Amino acid sequence: MNKREHRFGELLEAHHVRKTSHRLSVLNALSSREGATSQPDLEATMSPEINRVTLYRILKTFEEKGIIHKVIDLNGTANYALCSPDCTEHGHHDQHVHFSCSVCNRLYCLDTVRIPSFRLPNDFEAADTYLVVSGTCARCSKK
Amino acid sequence: MNKREHRFGELLEAHHVRKTSHRLSVLNALSSREGATSQPDLEATMSPEINRVTLYRILKTFEEKGIIHKVIDLNGTANYALCSPDCTEHGHHDQHVHFSCSVCNRLYCLDTVRIPSFRLPNDFEAADTYLVVSGTCARCSKK
DNA sequence: TTAAGTGCAAAATCTTTGCAAATGT
DNA sequence: ACATTTGCAAAGATTTTGCACTTAA
């Protein structure tokens, strides 16, 4: 077991989730991508080793336990990314800008770009803010 | 034909879309709601007068012609709202904040709240920005 | 008259559920 | 040993497609 796998093993233990080979594969796949990975993408990558239904369940469990978070992109497709260490099962901290490239379809988590603050009308109480920018990413704009 | 219907008739003509009674009903339904209306909501409202499939097609046409715009909420559900006059088939101008109430599920278009500007990393080119705030809306926070 | 819109049936997807077998602790 | 996880089949839900009939212009 290499270092990365070991790290993921500990991650699962820390969240009280059983350490199975499928779950480790999913964590590996997610961590090897830049930004978030779409459900269809992930499905294609893991297939046929991991059953489609099992993947749904793994992602659901991970999300509930605060191991990954889900970002819905502008097409309504679910994308997943590993959480930062301060996510818990009680709440995700995902207050950064997402960038959805319309050329390559990558979804980036721009951790360095914070969502600027703004005022809501009276009596509107914000719990979470999601900001998605669509356009052309650095990789694609250089081609 | 009352004033509102007349207005919608002209709206359809202006976008080179045929004026049918179903299309007028959909426009009426959309305009009678505050903010955007979800596809399932709309389906329930129009049923059984308008067939489910027809509704899909009407919404698709309206979106393509720049009559309505689609906002995907945090659950990945499509919501629709009438466009402001400066939307065309070449691009929607929807640069305001959306608010998704987790209590009543209403999706508000907060036209008065502009999306603040922020800088993207080098070589990322923004085309559109979508900002959705979830939380409790004014109506629900007062109860 | 004729091109576009509509309803119905059916296909194609996407997501969830039930249950028996396999696996982790 | 025992609770959890997994695969498979099947149910549900959502969205798209094909085709005959109807309607707007």
Residue whose CA is minimally distant from C14 C1': A40
Domain count, chain A: 1
A5-14, A86-95, A133-142, range with the lowest pLDDT: A86-95
The whole-angstrom separation of Cα A73 and Cα B130 is 10
pLDDT at B103: 84
In this model, does residue A125 exceed pLDDT 60? yes
β-pairing, B107-114 vs B37-38, is unpaired
Higher pLDDT, A36 or A3: A36
- Reference A51, options A8, A22, A79; nearest CA is A22
pLDDT at B18: 97
pLDDT at B35: 86
In this model, does residue A93 exceed pLDDT 60? no
Cβ neighbours of A13 (radius 10 Å): 11
Contact A101, A116 (CB under 8 A): no
Residue whose CA is minimally distant from C9 C1': B53
Does the CB of A134 have a partner CB in chain B at under 8 Å? yes
Please, what is the average pLDDT of chain A?
A: 88
pLDDT at B93: 56
Is strand D in 7 Å reach of the CB of B78? Answer: yes
Which CATH number do you get for residue A112? 1.10.10.10
Q: Which residues of A touch B113 (CB under 8 A)?
A: 118-121
Residues 6 or more apart from B26 whose CB is under 8 A from it?
A: B42, B46, B50, B55, B58, B59, B62
Mean pLDDT, contiguous 10-residue spans, chain B (143 residues) = 77 96 97 92 96 98 94 91 65 73 85 84 91 91 79
SS3 of chain A: the string is CCHHHHHHHHHHHHCCCCCCHHHHHHHHHHHCCCCEEEHHHHHHHHCCCCCHHHHHHHHHHHHHHCCEEEEECCCCCEEEEECCCCCECCECCCCEEEEEECCCCCEEEEEEEECCCCCCCCCCEEEEEEEEEEEECHHHHCC
pLDDT at B74: 85
The whole-angstrom separation of Cα B116 and Cα A72 is 21
* Interval B101-128: pLDDT, tens: 888 888 888 878 878 888 999 999 998 8
Cis peptide before B48 (omega within 30 of 0): yes
User: Integer distance in angstroms from CA A19 to C1' D3?
Assistant: 14
Does the CB of A2 have a partner CB in chain B at under 8 Å? no
pLDDT at A89: 52
Joined together, the tokens standing for residue B102 give: 């987790």
In this model, does residue A92 exceed pLDDT 80? no
- Give the structural domain span for A9: 3-141
In this model, does residue A4 exceed pLDDT 70? no
> Nearest 10 degrees: CA dihedral of B15, B20, B23, B24?
90
Q: How confident is the model at residue A88 (pLDDT cuts 50, 70, 90)?
A: low
The whole-angstrom separation of Cα A131 and Cα B134 is 11
- Reference B128, options B67, B68, B87, B82; nearest CA is B87
pLDDT at A20: 98
* Interval A13-70: pLDDT, tens: 999 999 999 999 999 999 998 889 999 999 999 999 999 999 999 999 999 999 999 9
pLDDT at B88: 56
pLDDT at A2: 64
The residue among B111, B133, B139 with the most chain A CBs within 10 A of its CB, best to mutate, is B133
pLDDT at A56: 98
Residues 6 or more apart from B133 whose CB is under 8 A from it?
A: A120, A124, A126, A128, A129, A130, B97, B98, B99, B100
